[in-house]
Amino acid sequence: MSQPSHSAAVPHAGETPFRFVHCADVHLDAPFRCASDDVRARLHDAGRAAFLRVADLCLAEHVHALLIAGDLFDDERLTFATEEFLLEQVGRLAAAGIHVVIACGNHDSGGRDGRAARLAWPTSRVTLVTGHEPQIIAITACDGALVGRAIAAGHADERDGSNLAALFPAGNGAVPTVGLLHARVAEAAGMERHPAVAPCTLADLAATGYDYWALGHVHGRQELRASDAPAGSGPLACYAGTLIGHHAGETGARGALLVTVPAPVAGQPRGAVTAEFRPLAGVRWETLDVPDLAAIADLSALRASVTEAFLRLAGPDAADGGQRWMLRVELSGPCPAAAELQRDELLEELSEQLCAELLPAGVLALQLVECGVHRPVALGSHRGQPHVLGLSLQVIDELASDEALLARLAPGALAGCDGGDEAAKRAYLRSLLHGIDSAAGESLLKESA
């Protein structure tokens, strides 16, 4: 395995843009949340297939490097077959003159007892960064010309709570520079769902002056920019997201980023960094909402509606695209067939039927989930009546329309509202009341029944 340079004296780069693929959170051999053994096996194979596409993308685009921002695999879960596959793909890239830089994350930590440090990585153009000290890796083209540098730090264990970003050296404006790190950035969307591994802020990253930060750990793909960055400027930092979704919470297309960092040209403004998403996952998780359940009177109509919603998402040529789907269908709101949809055994049977029908379109698994389906309630006939529901509806109607009453009931602090403007607070309270009349009607009529 090649050794990174620790010297800050890096020569000036030429005029060739620095091009690389950035991926993260591959989690090879991680378990999948799925009841079917057959589907689990297909998901396992899909993880390897996605990484094969990463290697193919690097070769097809003639990039200079593949930067992997942690969690390439799940440590001791890594099978020998996947280990052999992984080393083969990394070897393909190294043999083609493409640098591979791997910054260890919390799932593939680089400590002495970790699997990452024990693998027989290729000895040329492959750098595994296992510890806190940022390593400087000069990235060269096949002809030996310097095109950029990657500065990376890794994790020696799975519970690293230190701010590694604060350890990175300042950038060198003469050389396109990319930071590579597995970390939780405070400003990232969804960061609260991930452990506080190498916690840092966007300001920590911006302070280095790097052209790009290739990040891992937060599983949602996103681009972070400094609040004072000029419009149209290149991305300061990107999470590539998981290479493939692993459960129903990781929806949408998954893949890697193809990044171009322009070379500095004397006397000219620096060009914008571009990060182009490339979908590479052969399996995609999605949650479908079935619209207008109120018009669905029977299970046959529900099946037709679910099929229509899926085809809108996947497109009419779903079967020809090679994409496979893991679907969760959430059912909520008023529906004439509510009684049937509240029976677990019927939902399970219907899920299996729909999955079989949509199998030619690439659906591997489908689960119908009841999330508050209820029978339609005709509230008009109960308003103004001298019973509990009629009185409840009267109070709800008065509350929604009486500004003074809303103001008296509004607490000093209200979750989801900053409370600075009284009119805005009342409007927010009215939005919370939306649909409460139907909910009250359903609840009281159900108790009565």
The per-residue pLDDT for range 366-380, each reduced to its tens digit, is 999 988 888 777 666
pLDDT tens figures, 36-73: 888 989 999 999 999 999 999 999 999 999 999 988 99
Quickly list DSSP for 88-150: HHHHHHHHTT-EEEEE--SSS--STTSSGGGS---SSSEEEE-SSS-EEEEEE-TTS-EEEEE
Q: Which fold has domain 18-281?
A: Purple Acid Phosphatase; chain A, domain 2 (3.60.21)
Burial-class residue 245 by CB neighbours within 10 Å (0-12, 13-18, 19+).
buried
Q: Per mean pLDDT, which of 161-165, 403-407, 445-449 is the most reliable? A: 161-165
In this model, does residue 416 exceed pLDDT 60?
Answer: no
- 64 DSSP assignment: S
Which residue bears the tokens 């994409």?
A: 323
Quote the pLDDT of residue 108. Answer: 74
In this model, does residue 418 exceed pLDDT 60?
Answer: no
Contacts of 23 (CB under 8 A, 6+ apart): 54, 66, 67, 68, 69, 240, 243, 255, 256, 257
Quote the pLDDT of residue 319. Answer: 59
Q: pTM for the full model?
A: 0.81
Quote the pLDDT of residue 411. Answer: 62
Q: Where are the domains of the chain?
A: 18-281, 284-374, 379-448
Quote the pLDDT of residue 11. Answer: 46
Quote the pLDDT of residue 420. Answer: 58
Question: Could you give the strand order of the β-sheet that contains 283-289, starting from the edge strand earlier in sequence?
Answer: 283-289, 324-334, 363-374
pLDDT tens figures, 75-98: 778 899 999 999 999 999 999 999
Can you say whether residue 128 is alpha, beta or left, with left for phi > 0 and alpha for psi between -120 and 50 degrees? beta
Q: What confidence tier does 13 reach under pLDDT thresholds 50, 70, 90?
A: low
Mean pLDDT score of the chain, rounded to an integer? 84
- Mean per-residue pLDDT for 422-441? 68
In this model, does residue 29 exceed pLDDT 50?
Answer: yes
